[in-house]
Structures are given as structure tokens and as C-alpha cells.
Chains A and B, each alone.
Chain A
Amino acid sequence: MKLAVTGCGVVSPLGIGREAFVDGLASEDPRAIAFTSPSELLDPALDAISAEVSAFDAKAWLGKKGHRNFDRLTKFLITAAKLALRDAKLKTDDAEWIGVSPSRAGICSATAYGSLDAITELNRVAELEAPRYINPARFPNTVINAAAGYVSIWEDLRAPNTTIVDGNCGALDAVLTAKTHLDHDRGDVFLVGGGEVVSEPLYLALRKLELIRDQSAGLECGEGAAYVVVERPAEADARGAKILCEITGYGTAFEPPTSEALLAHVSEAAVARAMEEALADAKLKASDVDIVSSAAGGIARFDEAELRGIARVCPDAAVLAPKQFFGETFGAAGALAMAHAVAMFEGGSVLPLVRGTATSTPTSIIALAVGHYGNVSAVVLRAPR
């Protein structure tokens, strides 16, 4: 696999836009910027903390009109897409395409629970009033792929639009989807990434399942969206694009649980197998890997198994846990991890470190995504030549 990454757009609790994101990562205390206490999005009575894109002003990014019925995820995705396409110099500030036809531009976008708050909003109307009162203009938001569909409409992307729901692995799985489309000449440029939002039904469900951090263990909810622009390297070179990094490998694995009764589980073997497959795809040795950007999010049994899996394949690599800065963003996690990798290749701070010693000038990074059902995906990113 060889994809050129030529643009990156980020909507994150650390900042909106690549520069703001890098600045947030480099700040003295990124967690203090990212985590909002108490949450601005959840019921104050919950006394919840989450990593939120505070005071997100859709009008500032999307203009004054045309987005009244968009949900929060859709607004995040469009903003990230817009920023990524302009960062790649594929579009002007006036939304004119440069050097590529809209019929050759597509999107591979992940989310895990993206439409949940839209569904809840309409379910409240249906349950407390009657189904006949639900707003038909907001009904499309309940369909999982609608948010990415709106991105295509807003940014005029007419090549394939693929939404991926692979839990925490979605955004990394979107890399293979885009690579597949490029190999089959279904387009020339693809936005790859995804988004997730903090929502009350999701927070309450996680809390009920005792997965939310209380004193010391458990995950912290986060939100955000990110896209990287990927192209065939020769075409990126030909148009004089700045190559931010290359994606050179992808691997995925699934292992069932040891007990039939289990649903949620983690597999150290799947972690190792996905990493090995990604390294083989990238034609890299484990010793070449400087950094593993882990999926560790605070659920002890998951984090420990992941670390063991990483140690089996890359025992000498430094291990980061970016969710300490972003919170658990599920479908967006891999997207933020790729944006984080781009930032590190550009000289951004290599944090937060949970194992080993990190170089400040990494050349090879593995981004990992660990699903809650035994699925794991891995992507190899390399510094630009």
C-alpha cells in the first residue's frame, strides 16, 4: 500500500483546523484544554466530564444558511472535510476545485454512534407526543450514512461516498476502503476519516455498563472529526502537492471471545495479528517502528491486552495513548490518531507517552484501533520522503 496524505482537517477539543490542533497538542496541559468540566453538552445533573469541542460555532465554518437541520456530527464532518480539502489545496477558499473534477473526489467516513443523538431527538417526539409529529426534515439524520452524504452535497464530492461502522476501528478501516477505490480507479482523491459526538444517550449507556471513568478506571467520552486527504503518490507529486506523510500499510483481524456468553471482549492475538499484517503490507520490520499510537482509552482489561499485543510485535517502540487528550471518540478515534501522526511528522509534540522513549522526529508510526468485540485494525504511516 502506498497513499500520499496531502491534507488534513480537524475538529477537536484541542482546536479546529490543523494548526490549532498542533498548537493544542503542544500546549503545557492539553487535557486542560480538551476536557470540559462540567460537560456543556450533557445534563448538568450528571456531573460529567468529557472532551468536547466547546463553543463550536457552525456559522463560523459553514456560513449562515443551509445547515439548520444538520445535526452536530454533520456539522463536524463538513467542517473537517472543508478544512482538509483546502489544506490539500484541492479547493480554493471560494470552494472552487483546483486540478481535480468533483466526479473524481470521494469520501470514506467512519462513525460508530453518529446518528444516535438525532435518533434520540426524534424518539423523544415519537414517545412523548406521537410519531406523526416527528420533523421529516430531520428524519434523514437518523440514517447512519446521512452525515457523510451531506458532506458530499456540501463539498460536491461525486465519486463514491462510503460510510463505515466498525466501532472503534472504522476510521482506520476507511483507509483500506479508499485504497480499494483508488486501485479500481473509482476516484482520484478521497477524504478518509470520520467523526463522533458526545451525546447523552451514549454517555448514559456507557455509564450504565460501568465503562465510564469514575475515580481512576474507565473511559472518558470525547468527540471530534478528522479527515486526511489521500491520493496516489504519483498524482500528488504531479500536481505539486505537499506530502504530509504516506500511509504504507493496513492490517485487520478479528478473534472471537473464549466464552460463548461474552459479547464485549478484547484480543491480544488480534492486536498482534493486525499489526503484523500492517507491517507486512508496509514491507517494514517491527524494529523500524518508532511509535505505536495505541487505542488505550482507560478500560483496564482492554488497555492491558492491547499493550501485551503491541509488546509481542513491537517491543521496542514507544507507545502513546492519545485518548488521554481526545477522550474516547469511537469511530473518530482512528481519524484523530492519523491527524495526530501528521502533527508528529510535522514536528509536533510526541505525547502522551505511556511506554518507552519517544524520538521527537519519528519516521514510522503505527496507529491502532481496538474494537470492543475482538476486532482490531492497524495502519502504518511514514514521514514524507
Chain B
Amino acid sequence: MSRVFVTGIGVVTPVGIGKTDFFRALLAGENGAAEITLFPTHDLERSHACEVKSFSPREHLTAAEARRMGRASAFAVAAARMAVEDSGLSTKQLAGPRTSVVIGTTMGEANVLGELESAWIHDGQEAVSLRKLPTYGSTLLPIHVARAFGARGMVKTLPAACAAGNYAIGYAADQVRAGRADIVLTGATEVIERLQYAGFVRLGAVTPDLVRPFDADRKGLCVGEGAGMLVLESEESMLRRGATPLCEVGGYGLACDAHHITRPHPEGEGSELAMRAALTSSGLTPAQVDHINAHGTATRANDAVEAKVIKKIFGDHRPLVTSIKSMIGHCMGAASAIEAVACVMTLQQGVIPPTMNHEQLDPECDVDVVAGSAREADVKVILNNSLAFGGYDAVVCFAKNGVFPETVGRAPRAGETS
């Protein structure tokens, strides 16, 4: 069973494009929220979101690529290009059936569909763009990335709502471990679209002002968008080309609350199962975890449940917890992929981005929040946490090289649990 390493990362986010700008903005506590420019909001009770405003497709895509893909695919291909460049992999090394692509999302090319349906509903079928029609479909997300690099292995889309990034990264690691791929380009992508935004507003989930994860005065999330992509590589492939890993991917945990379609289980049953499974499959104990990059949406229900589970599992150990959603918003399917990039950067630089707008800890959220400003820390092990619509729970473990035991990634033996 091969070990799995991250050898490249790339991001498109509301606070910066590319890992350097992104992480610098996080450490500076920048706020990506602003008035929405993508669609009119006059008939909604909220009007702000974390849009990616500085993205120019032609800076990242060929003319042909830009013509045949929507915004979500464009984000993914752009982030993948940055990740590949970061990895030092050549086109020749990537091309072929040993490279796969696994991408997560919540709603894929939602804005393409929104435009098509708007034309159809108001002006009939004749008004629907024949050029745009084929560009809808979540299947296309990994196809576009695979085409960009000549990858000819598995192409897979995992729509797992707000846990999609972790689903994709975990499954990609599975494939490398199982020897089904040497390299997997993986991550997730999401765009802000009117219907989806209105849905969150109608659910009462969108904050009227700031995003305050784990704060007593938190009032909800801010919708965001973007993409995070990672190059996962087998140890053999990495050694063969003499590459240096950014960090190692450990085990991951998945579970389903089977409780409610939008609300987490009140006791966090699925979340606990997923976190414990991530630890067990990584061969680690809770005491070895230094930091949790939390789901931390700043909704009343999510943060209380997530904190309850962290406290239950970690007890007095209290790993440092942060939620970068306070700066980039909730990028839905892309959230945990972008957060995974933040995890890799934290392991690289030894600094944890802050949870902004956090002034008074909610007694219901008794965790050690990195509040207000970035904190330097000797972080060796990070859990990247995510919870999602559908009761999906997914947690991925990242660590500095040499931390995970030999057993990392293997199935647990009977009775083993963290």
C-alpha cells in the first residue's frame, strides 16, 4: 500500500488567487465579503457574498478552454494549473492512464444552468444558447481538468455538498493507496448562483453582517465561491522524480448522520464517527492532533455541534481551532478543498490563520479558537473538518512528513478506535 503525499497546491478564492496571495490574505485577516455583483439582489433580504472578483479566465485558460467551460470548471482548471506548476510535474509526467482526476462540488455549473433556464422560462426554447447548453453538467468538471493535462485515468465527480472537497481528496488518496493511480489531481470547485444564494437566504442561514465562527453573537454564514486543487502523488512516483512533498495525507473518515437533510445531528453522531475514523485510519491518537481547521460556518447549529464533538473527542487536549470561513465565506463544495490548501500552508509555514470577528466565545462552543490574529505554532498534525447537507460528514488528516506511522491509511483492525 503506497503512502500519499501532497506535492502541489493551487487556489482560487475570494481573498486571493494562488497559494501565496491566498495565505497572505488569510494571515492578514482580510474579509472577502462585499455586495454581490454576479446577479441582482434587490428582491432578497441579503445582498453580500464572498465572490471571486479578480478572476480572469484568459489568464489561466486557453481560448478554446474558456469557450467550452463554465465558471466552476474554469476555477478548477485554473487551480489545477497552479497546483501542477507547484508540484513541478511536467506534461509528459502527467499524461496517460496513471493520472486521475477526482473533483467535488455541490451544484457544479449552477450559473450555466441558471442562465439557460432563465432564457427558456422567459423567452422559450429558441432563446436557449446552443453553445452554452453542452457546458452544463457536473460530469464535466474532472473532464476539463483531465483534458488540460492529458490525464487518461479515472475522471470522477463527487457531489457531497459542503463536504465535497474532503470527499474528493479522501477518495483520491484511496486510489493512490490502492495502486490505481500514481497521481491524482483532486479538490473541489463551486460558484455563487442566484437560486442557490436565495435558498440559503430562505433557510435563514445567511448572516446580516459578519461571519463570527464559534462566537456567542454568530448569526450565520456568508456564501462564497472558489476552488482548491491538490496534486496527490504516491511515494514511489515522488521518489522517482526526486520531488519534495509539501506534506503527507493520512487517513480520512466519512459518516452519515441519517438525521436531517440540512441540520447536523444534535449530538454530532456522524461528525464524531468521521473524526474518529480519520484518526484511526491515520494511526494517530487525539493527543497527537495540533490543529483543527474547522467547518465553522458560524451558523448556530453547526458550530455548537462541531465544538461539542471536538470537546468530546479531545477532552482537555484542546487542539487549536480556526475557521477561515470568517474571511472567505462558505465556499460550499469547494470549502474543504480550499481549507485543505490552508492546512498544507499551515504545515509548511508553522502559522495558523485566524478566526476573524470572534470576540466572545459561545459557552456552547468550548474550543480553543485562534481568534483575531494568526498564531505561530509548531503544527505537525491537522484535521480538516467538514459537515454537509444530506448529513454528510468528512474529515481528512494531514501531517508533516514522517509523522504518520507505517500503518497510515490501512483499514482498522477489530476493536481499534481513536
Contacts and interface: CB of A to CB of B under 8 A. Distances in A.
Partners in one complex: yes
Interface of A: 102-103, 106, 112-113, 115-116, 119-120, 122-124, 126-128, 130-132, 134-136, 139-140, 142-146, 148-150, 152-153, 155-167, 173, 177, 180-181, 183-186, 201, 204-205, 208-209, 252-256, 260-261, 263-264, 273, 371-375
Interface centre among B116, B154, B281, B390 (most CB of A within 10 A): B390
Interface stretch (B159-167, B214-222, B291-299, B340-348): B159-167
A161 B139 contact: no
Given A136-B202, A375-B155, 10 more contacts: A112-B137, A119-B195, A120-B117, A132-B202, A144-B108, A145-B161, A149-B390, A161-B256, A161-B390, A375-B139
B44 A131 contact: yes
A145 B160 contact: yes
Contacts of A375: 139, 143, 155
Contact of B258 (A102, A113, A201, A263): A102
A258 B117 CA distance: 31
Nearest to A114: B159
A286 B161 CA distance: 40
A205 B133 contact: yes
A158 B195 contact: no
B258 A157 contact: yes
A183 B390 contact: no
B369 interface: no
Given A131-B43, A264-B134, A149 B114 contact: no
B139 A166 contact: yes
18 contacts: A127-B121, A132-B45, A143-B106, A144-B108, A144-B159, A145-B392, A146-B161, A149-B390, A152-B390, A158-B255, A158-B256, A158-B270, A165-B138, A173-B156, A205-B136, A255-B152, A260-B62, A373-B143
Contact of B152 (A128, A253, A373): A253
Contacts of A152: 256-258, 390-391
Given A160-B254, A165-B159, A261-B64, A256 B147 contact: yes
Contacts of B135: 263
Nearest to A180: B174
Nearest to B62: A260
B258 A371 contact: no
Contact of B277 (A113, A157, A186): A186
B198 interface: yes
A119 B97 CA distance: 35
Contacts of B24: none
A126 B125 contact: no
A296 B188 CA distance: 32
A371 B390 CA distance: 27
Interface in B280-335: 281
Contacts of A120: 117
A374 B283 CA distance: 39
Contacts of A157: 256, 258
A144 to B, nearest CB: 4
A127 B261 contact: no
Nearest to A106: B256
Contacts of A145: 159-161, 388-390, 392
Contacts of A371: 139
Contacts of B4: none
A132 B44 contact: yes
B153 interface: yes
Interface in B196-225: 196-199, 201-204
Contact of B150 (A123, A208, A256): A256
A256 B146 contact: yes
Contacts of B105: 144
Contacts of A131: 43-44, 194-195, 197-198, 201-202
B140 interface: yes
Nearest to B164: A145
Interface residues of B, number: 81
A184 B281 contact: yes
B55 interface: no
B139 A177 contact: no
A259 to B, nearest CB: 9
B171 A167 contact: no
B243 interface: no
B259 A184 contact: no
Interface string B87-126: 0000000000100000001111000011011101110010
Contact of A143 (B150, B256, B390, B411): B390
A224 B408 CA distance: 40
B257 A158 contact: yes
B390 A148 contact: yes
B139 A373 contact: yes
A378 to B, nearest CB: 13
Contacts of B171: 162, 177, 180
A16 to B, nearest CB: 24
Given A180-B174, A183-B178, A253 B158 contact: no
A106 B253 CA distance: 13
B360 interface: no
Nearest to B392: A161
A110 B215 CA distance: 38
A124 to B, nearest CB: 6
Contacts of B133: 205, 208-209
Interface centre among B113, B204, B256 (most CB of A within 10 A): B256
A164 B158 contact: yes
Contacts of B150: 256
Contacts of B113: 116, 119
A263 B137 CA distance: 12
Contacts of B139: 112, 165-167, 371-373, 375
A144 B103 CA distance: 14
A122 B199 contact: yes
Contacts of B64: 260-261
B159 A149 contact: no
Given A131-B194, A139-B199, A252-B154, A162 B258 contact: no
Nearest to B277: A186
Interface string B256-282: 111111100000011001000100010
A123 B117 contact: yes
Contacts of B262: 140
